[in-house]
Structure 1
């Protein structure tokens, strides 16, 4: 009796689970007139509320912009006026104003500091520029100008040293116009080259020979020579020959490569010849052995001045007169080979 009841219950449950759809009765009751009126009133209030909030926000923005304009743009308290220029060179305030377009009546809040810095970096003399703005009206410009290490000259193209229209080179070989010839520039060495057509102010010189000559000039200026002497000129005769002319009229010929070895050998030759009481006139360091060395007489005869150069001698282009240098239009005493050198000097020259 029990089992048939259980089977019937199980069969009824399966039928219930297999039903796929359910029927629901949806009743739509139309709202009353009061509910419709209240709903419309709520929507109108919401629209009015958002309109008021939006209008107040727009008015606040416009009012704040007007205050900003009156406080910063119209007010003369934020005018640039005279800006501060700190530099380690010769660039002046009018030059900076002309390069950047700065005017005293400009508002300091309208300035694009990045653009001002970019314009300053376009000046060939400038290697680093910093622009700082401090409210209400302080503008500070700091410039790091290139420090000249040598003059670049070319006789063929009329580029002369010790001239405001000349070109200077910094330690990295970047060329820039001189502009103002300071007294300290008179002691700089001069690098003479055959062609400067590819030189662009503000950029490194493309010629490898000029950069090598500049490196040689800096090495020679740092060296304490015995006897004391200073570098005046370096002539680039070709891609294999650099001739350094000293203020003692000595001429030293170098290869562009292996400058350390040649400098060390020149120093040893000068020390040995100086100890022997000899005055060196020229040394050709291009050879590893049997280095050609010529000497000067202890006192140059007056008749030697103005004599034509001996065949085969190097005659650099005469530069502008310096303190202690020969006057323009005169020739310096030519090197005179002297026999009977000391054996120690001979051994050094032969490369022993």
Structure 2
């Protein structure tokens, strides 16, 4: 048997209290010293790196591309031209660039002591998409949308206009979902228009020069409108044969000094054709709105050296 007795007196209590107080003060002192050390290290890091003029952003380069101007780059990424190269996170900058529908790929690299290089690949437009019901006008840089080979919609930038203004247009009816930049068009009328355009490009390398608009027609066919005003009606099947018949008819009419006004190519025989009346102007497509000429933004290097 073990007998334990706890004896407490004012003197013993004061002794225990003083020992606990000294121990607590010792830990507080150690914690304060640790915090002071961390603060000193951070202050040294900030002064030695973040605010060191040697690591100031001195060189910012971007390759020539049709997606972003230099001013737009700064607006989208928020790069501080007066800041440090440590403020430029390559991954964050790339994510912001890739969020733009007109950018297909982006590469950002940082080099010390003060360089940042950005390489951008813009999407390549192959045609316009128009929808009157949604206010998406053909060949309109403000409201129109371009499409790349993957069917992805993106806006027309000022640098793209010269290349894009002459591209064909696929005119759509009201879509189940609003047409917005960044979405992929998978509507059946669009896919049918793409198949007809692909057949025309396959049969004629100059197709983009003479095709103006392709549109859905009465649910069972598509109409192709040329820049000369010819309206050709195609069925959804047997496109290769119909396209060959169309090109042959146009070539024959040109050989006789005439221009086709309308032609229906669904049937294999007795293809209905009407001709344009001499002196009568063909129905020209609505001209695009004017766009301000592309003006180079101030050079990035000059901005950095201001």
Normalising by the residue count of structure 2, what TM-score does the alignment of the two structures yield?
Answer: 0.69
Q: C-alpha displacement at 1:195, in angstroms?
A: 1.6
Q: Helix, strand or coil: the match of 2:101?
A: coil
Matches within 5 A, 1:199-210: 199-210=179-190
The alpha-carbon distance between structure 1 residues 111 and 171, as it changes in their structure 2 partners (threshold 3 A), is: same
Runs of 4+ in 1 over 6 A off after TM superposition: 58-64, 225-229
Counterparts of 1:86 and 1:245, CA distance in 2? 38
Matches within 5 A, 1:1-352: 67-81=44-58, 83-165=60-142, 166-180=144-158, 182-196=161-175, 197-221=177-201, 223-224=203-204, 230-274=210-254, 279-287=259-267, 289-290=268-269, 292-296=271-275, 300-302=277-279, 318-320=285-287
Q: Helix, strand or coil: the match of 2:81?
A: coil
The alpha-carbon distance between structure 1 residues 228 and 238, as it changes in their structure 2 partners (threshold 3 A), is: closer
Contact 1:131 1:139 survives alignment (8 Å): yes
The alpha-carbon distance between structure 1 residues 82 and 256, as it changes in their structure 2 partners (threshold 3 A), is: farther
Contact 2:67 2:121 survives alignment (8 Å): no
Question: 1:283-315 CA deviation, whole Å, 9 max, x = no partner?
Answer: 32233x225231426xx344x569xxxxxxxxx
Q: C-alpha displacement at 1:90, in angstroms?
A: 4.4
Counterparts of 1:235 and 1:63, CA distance in 2? 70
Q: C-alpha displacement at 1:76, in angstroms?
A: 2.2
Counterparts of 2:103 and 2:197, CA distance in 1? 23
Contact 1:280 1:293 survives alignment (8 Å): no
Counterparts of 1:79 and 1:216, CA distance in 2? 55
Tell me whether 74-83 or 138-147 shows the greater mean CA deviation: 74-83
Q: Helix, strand or coil: the match of 2:66?
A: coil
Tell me whether 137-146 or 245-254 shows the greater mean CA deviation: 245-254
Q: C-alpha displacement at 1:191, in angstroms?
A: 1.8
Q: C-alpha displacement at 1:136, in angstroms?
A: 1.0
The alpha-carbon distance between structure 1 residues 269 and 228, as it changes in their structure 2 partners (threshold 3 A), is: farther
The alpha-carbon distance between structure 1 residues 264 and 134, as it changes in their structure 2 partners (threshold 3 A), is: same
Tell me whether 257-266 or 153-162 shows the greater mean CA deviation: 257-266
Q: Helix, strand or coil: the match of 2:91?
A: helix
Question: 1:101-154 CA deviation, whole Å, 9 max, x = no partner?
Answer: 211233223433222111111111111111111111111111111122222222
Tell me whether 93-102 or 223-232 shows the greater mean CA deviation: 223-232
Counterparts of 1:222 and 1:106, CA distance in 2? 53
Contact 1:173 1:211 survives alignment (8 Å): no
The alpha-carbon distance between structure 1 residues 279 and 305, as it changes in their structure 2 partners (threshold 3 A), is: closer
Q: What number of residue pairs does the alignment pair up?
A: 253
> Who wins on radius of gyration, i.e. which is larger?
1
Contact 2:216 2:223 survives alignment (8 Å): yes
Question: 1:26-48 CA deviation, whole Å, 9 max, x = no partner?
Answer: xxxxxxxxxxxxxxxxxxxxxxx
The alpha-carbon distance between structure 1 residues 168 and 227, as it changes in their structure 2 partners (threshold 3 A), is: closer
Q: Helix, strand or coil: the match of 1:123?
A: coil
Gaps of 5+ in 2: 1-34, 290-306
Normalising by the residue count of structure 1, what TM-score does the alignment of the two structures yield?
Answer: 0.61
Q: Helix, strand or coil: the match of 1:104?
A: coil
Contact 2:203 2:243 survives alignment (8 Å): no
Q: Helix, strand or coil: the match of 2:129?
A: strand
**RMSD over equivalenced CA pairs, Å:** 3.6
Q: C-alpha displacement at 1:264, in angstroms?
A: 3.2
